[in-house]
Structure formats: C-alpha cells, structure tokens
Amino acid sequence: MSIEITVPPLPESVSDATLVAWHKKEGDAVTRDENLVDLETDKVVLEVPAPSSGTLQEIKILDGTTVTSGEVLAILMEGEGAAAQPVANVQPEPAAKSSVDDVTAPEPASSTSSHKLSPSVRRLLDENDLDAAVVVGTGKDGRITKADVMSYLKSHAVEDVTPGDPAAAIAVGHTVSVTRSEQRVPMTRLRARIAERMVEAQQNAAMLTTFNEIDLTKVISLRKRYKESFENEHDVRLGFMSFFVKASVEALKRFPVVNASVEGSDIIYHDYYDIGIAVSSERGLMVPILRDVDRQSFADIEGNISALSKKAGDGTMTMEDLTGGTFTITNGGIFGSLLSTPILNPPQSGILGMHAIQERPMAVEGEVQVRPMMFVALSYDHRIIDGREAVQFLVSLKQSLEDPARLLLQV
C-alpha cells in the first residue's frame, strides 16, 4: 500500500517552510520513524519521520523548495517486501582470479551518517561537493560541525597552493599567481528572520542603552567555595548565568516596566518572569525561554540552560522553546566582548548584555585593589522606560551581585 508523506502541521504563526535536504533517495528502503527529510522554518528545523517501513517510491518536492502544511512531499510504498524489490535484473560478471595479495579489503563505512549532520553542515558539504567521510568531526560523538568543514576547506585550499612554494618563488623574483574567488550563498530562513527582527527592533522602538560595571569578587568567591559540592549535589555545573538570572528577576520585580511590552498604544505588564537566554548555534543566534524563573532554584536554572544549549547544538529546538519571553539576557563575554549595545528582542522592552570579566585596578575604601570587573549594558525601549528606571535597574542588579546574600534574603 502506498502512503503519502506530507508536511506536518506547522507551528502557530509559521506559514511555510523550506525543504532543506532529503536523507533518502528514490528506491531506498526506510524504517518506521526514520527521519526522511528536514524542513526549516523561521526558527526551528522540523524532522519528517517515516510513518511506516517500506520503500521511498517517489520524491515529489526537491531540496530548496518552499512548502506549506499538508503538502505532499513523497510517496512511500509500505511493507518490507517493497524494500526487497530489485531495481534491475542485472547478472553479475564472474570475478577475475587473483592472488590473496591482490584482494583489497572493503573500506569501512563512514562513522558519520547523514542523519547526524545538521542542515547547515550538510548544505556546506553539498555546496563544496565534499564527502563527509573526509572531514574529521570534533563535535559530540565525533559529529561534524560547520567549523570542521570550514577548517577542512581552508587547509585544503592551502594544500593546493603550497606545492609551488610561492614564498620561495617571490624570493627569487618570480611572479606568483594567486587565485581569488567569491561565493554567493542565500541566507538561511533563521538568518533572514534574525535580520528582519533586528531591523524591526531598530525601526519600531526608541532604543537606548545604559551601562554600569559590577565587581564580581563575592560571586566568584561564593562559586569557587561551593562549585564542587553544588555539582555533586545537583549534577549540574554552577555557572555565572544563574546569578545574573536571579539578580535580574529581583530588579524586574522592583521595576516592572522593564518586564513589560508594547502592543499598539498599550503597555502590557507581565506578572511572570520568562527570561530568554541568547544561545549561539550553527544555524545562528537563538533565544530559548526559561519559564517562571522566579520559582526556580539556582540548580533548576543551570540545568535548564544546559538542556536548552544542548538542544540548540543538536538542532532539536522547538517552537515552544523559543516562543514568548518577557526579558532577555545575552552574554557576549564568552566570545571575549568587553562592551556592546545589545538589540531588543521584540516585543520585549529590555535586554541585558553581559560581557567579559576583566581584572582592573579599582579604588576600594581609599585603596587601589585589583578586582574582577564586568561591564553590563541594558538596552531598553525609551517609549515606556525612562532613563531613571533603566539606571536604577542596573544599580539593583549591581547591588545583588556585589552582595549575593541579597538574592537569598530578597533585600
């Protein structure tokens, strides 16, 4: 019996998707629940599993095509017998006689199967006509990352040039020919959506940024003292983000307009705290949401952030993970950023930017001491948030982090 493989119901507010890549060809045998094709929406990549075991009889939609919910992607011939049907009745030629020394053992199959490649990696391999088997993966379980492919392409390009030893040719006065090229690559749907939202934020909000700096001496000391016992007790690492999330919630409670959003001519105040945590992935920047963080412990926050980061790396983020949010925290410090002005995540009215921790000489009670300092930035929508509230929000954040006992006593 033939079964139609269709585009699954798309998440709310998503009208269409792009077919990124098929994992099977016409005539290939498939097993039930095996991923057949990846569909990319504005925010997530959806996998379309096989509803039954059988043979992929016909592919109706090709890579790169825009599809809508319910559209037929392929026809599957159900049943194991279908998978066993030969494509053609070809008689094999008798093997030629050879000595044992002439027999070559078959090469082992690549450990990186296509279903372990993210859409961006698979696209990069296809664009450069590159076999995944030649690229050494440095990701989890040997998974190939986009950086691995770029590294291979870069080293391969160098190998093409070095046999001629251009340095030596220049030394003797010879002219060296250098090949220059460029590549035009369309934006992914996620990158295009990021660009759209960034422009939207700058055009539709009166965006302004205020700064402060925080002495993290006590947070670092507290973290160092309890880091090992915390990990043993909760099976999760104690990072800095949980401190900033907790401190942000306390500041948002004092200045609720920073946790609000604008809808037309109305201000929507939220009595809950759903904090978006900016996470970098191969597909681009994502902002998964931590729900009701005011009810979460330090261990809950760290565990949930770790789980969301893993989902971003694996490409398994869902629309539910990315929908909503009343305030966002982004940490450019992990990449070495010392200072930046983060862009709002519409329709939110505030975003906190964390930066690199840097030891600097500071005046402490009349003495110069070297302290671990971090610049923080709050970008806010000046239509509803006054400068006084934005500045006091950062002052509250600073007070909580420079004296972490405040977070426990809520003072």
Active-site residue, 386 included: yes
Q: Of 115, 108, 111, 114, which Cα lies nearest the Cα of 137?
A: 111
Amino acid, single-letter form, for residue 377: A
Active-site residue, 156 included: no
- Choosing from 28, 63, 382, 403, the catalytic residue is 382
Query: Residues with catalytic annotation?
Result: 382, 386
